[in-house]
Amino acid sequence: MEENIKYPIGIQTFSKIVEEKYAYVDKTRFIPLLENAGQFIFLSRPRRFGKSLLLSMMHSYFAGEKEYFKGLAIDSMNVEWKKRPVLHFDFNPENYLNENALEGLLHGYLKDFEKEYGIETEEMSPSRRFSNLVKNIHEKTGEQVVILIDEYDKPLLGLEDNKELFTKNQGILKGFFGVLKSMDRSIRFAMLTGVARFNKVSIFSDLNNLNDISLDEEFADICGWTQEELEKYFSTGIKLIAKKYKVSYEETLRDMKLTYDGYLFAEGGNRLYNPFSVLNALSKKRLSYFWFHTGTPTFLAKRVKKRGILLPTLNKCKCPEDMLTAVGIDDPNPIPLLFQTGYLTIRRTFGDIYELQFPNKEVEVGFARYLQPLYLPEMDDYNGPFSIWEFKEELNEGMPEKFMERMKAMIKAVPYEQHNEAFYQNLVYLLFTLIGIDSRMEEHTNQGRPDIVVRTEKFIYVFEFKYNGTVQEALDQIHNRDYAGRFGVDKRKVFLIGANFSTTERGLEGYEIEDYIPRI
């Protein structure tokens, strides 16, 4: 079994991947589709999802670098291989907390392009300089220009607490992208990518011939990997993980699917794997939460809490299409941005209404970790009494009473003003999500849905929580609906746990634990 596979972690240059024989999932079949989709294209996808590599592929294609496409899908297609001038802007590298960072980046790119094409310019704004550049390249070469802009929204994301700088950068982008409309006769093709579609940036309000393909079924699989692609290109790497942990290939596939799969960008498309996470898993030969460590906008977590959202409902929240495709920095509703940043994905659609969910375990647990300090700051101490490891150990060892007493004490440490029903529901959700054991919330049975079912190697726990009710009501519901009935032949010991949270008592008012006795 070949173990020296080269995985392109952090490499976004198409030509480098081909030349140095890195593993590559062939997406070249989308090139003719993009050419036919219009003169100006916009694509929104989450970070680390392959947007930069896609634009690099388009760069090589329009630059006429046919040698890099030998043996790929487009090699057998009837396309025009013609060298065209390409202006490729990457907004990723800069830190835009610096007031002059955006202008500096633009002037730097424009200076390099002017030097490449022998164009002289006077001191002027980035937008005028850009317009002058496009016009002169068209006149000098006789060819229309191709413009590729990667992560156009990077100068805006993360500036939610700096409205002055956000407004300044927004104004610069407004003028710069306005060139696309004013110079359309000199432009052959323009494509922009980003995470969010900000509805107040003029490229979306003024450039009315921009084709947003983000939710189009035809382009649903343009970034990210399908199940078929994963197994076609990476079966050897998956086998190496299976070999390392002495499990079957099928078991490894199942675990990868639960951890990294699940993204959907059009109902008729395929569920997709996160490329960044899969490449890291294959390279390191272990499954872990890699995407989480790439960073999450803190303001998203704060906005979720400020909005008072019940966290369990994120897994089935609904949103109209027009809200999903345009966001504002001042928009109090975090759902559209959660979708565009990849924390939520499409579950199913009802006309133009989208029902959303967390795509996979990596995303759900990662987001819970960002929310945890806002709800349960005491859990930050990994060696303290409320460490997540203590909770996990008690469930693994069959000690539900210690688990419940620890939860009760933790809630008492929470400030008084947070004690309401929504807080208790979010606390339960975060606790069981972060524990990381097989915790299933509102799992369907033939008679209803228990709040939480936890499965460990030796034990099963069926939880039902009430809020300003009684412990007996919780237990009665477990019994009357026979929530544990499916475990009657399971060899593991089953615990039934009914509990009640009280806003009057400001915490876990009481609980009761029973051993499950199957009905005869």
3-class state of residue 173 by DSSP: helix
| Higher-scoring residue by pLDDT: 219, 180 | 219
Distances (CA, A) of 409 to 406, 452, 500, 509, 519: 5, 20, 14, 11, 35
pLDDT tens, 13-44?
A: 999 999 999 999 999 999 999 999 999 999 99
Edge-first strand order for the sheet with 318-320 is: 318-320, 353-357, 345-350
pTM: 0.90
- What is the rounded CA–CA span in Å between residue 374 and residue 351? 36
**Which domains, from first to last, does the chain contain?**
26-219 (3.40.50), 227-286 (no CATH), 295-357 (no CATH), 376-515 (3.40.1350)
**Strands in 12-154 per DSSP E:** 40-44, 86-90, 145-150
Q: Are 267 and 346 in contact (CB under 8 A)?
A: yes
Strands 86-90 and 353-357: unpaired
Half-sphere exposure of 102 (CA within 13 A, CB side): 26
Written as six digits, the tokens of 450 are 């228990």
DSSP state string for 31-56: HHHHHHT-SEEEEE--TTSSHHHHHH
- How many whole angstroms separate alpha carbon 185 and alpha carbon 144? 8
The string of pLDDT tens digits covering residues 302-353 is 888 888 888 888 888 999 988 887 776 667 788 988 998 899 999 999 988 9
Q: What is the per-residue pLDDT for 518? A: 76
Stronger pLDDT, 142 or 450, i.e. the higher one: 142
Look at 347 and 385; give whichever has higher pLDDT. Answer: 347
Residue position matching structure tokens 């339960």: 428
Please report which helix (H) or strand (E) contains residue 467, including its range.
Answer: strand 459-467
The string of pLDDT tens digits covering residues 108-164 is: 999 999 999 999 887 789 999 999 999 999 999 999 999 999 999 899 887 877 889
Please tell me which residue, 80 or 53, carries the higher pLDDT value.
53
Q: What is the CA radius of gyration of the chain?
A: 26
Distance CA 36, CA 255 (A): 38
Residues in the chain: 520
